[in-house]
Structure 1
Amino acid sequence: MEPVFNHFDEAGNAIMVDVTDKAPTFRTAVAEGTIKVTRPILDAITGRTAAKGDVLGVARVAGIMAAKRTWELIPLCHPLLLSHLSVDFEILEADCAVRATCTVKLSGKTGVEMEALTGVTVALLTIYDMCKAIDKGMELGEIHLVHKEGGKSGVYDRE
Structure 2
Amino acid sequence: MHELTHLDKEGRVRMVDVSDKEDTLRRALATGRIHMQPGVLHQILEGQGKKGNALETARIAGIMAAKRTAELIPLCHPLMLTSVRVDFTPDTEGSSIGIRAEVRTTGKTGVEMEALTAVTVAALTLYDMVKAMDKTMEINEIRLMEKEGGKSGAFMREPL
TM range (shorter): over 0.9
Structure 1 partner of 2:6: 7
Deviation at 1:94, TM superposition (A): 1.0
CA distance in 2, matches of 1:95, 1:50: 20
Gap regions ≥5 residues in structure 1: none
CA distance in 1, matches of 2:19, 2:93: 48
Structure 1 partner of 2:130: 131
Structure 2 partner of 1:38: 37
CA distance in 1, matches of 2:133, 2:5: 45
CA distance in 1, matches of 2:152, 2:20: 17
Deviation at 1:51, TM superposition (A): 0.3
CA distance in 1, matches of 2:38, 2:91: 11
User: Match of 2:104, as an amino acid?
Assistant: K
User: Match of 1:57, as an amino acid?
Assistant: E
Structure 1 partner of 2:80: 81
Partners of 2:38 and 2:92 within 8 A in 1: no
| Deviations, residues 105-152 of structure 1 (Å, cap 9, x unaligned) | 011000000000000000000000001000100000000001001001
For the aligned residues, what is the CA RMSD? 0.6
CA distance in 2, matches of 1:21, 1:135: 49
Deviation at 1:5, TM superposition (A): 1.1
Identity of aligned residues (%): 53
Matched, 1:66 2:65: yes
User: Match of 1:149, as an amino acid?
Assistant: E
* SS of equivalent to 1:80: coil
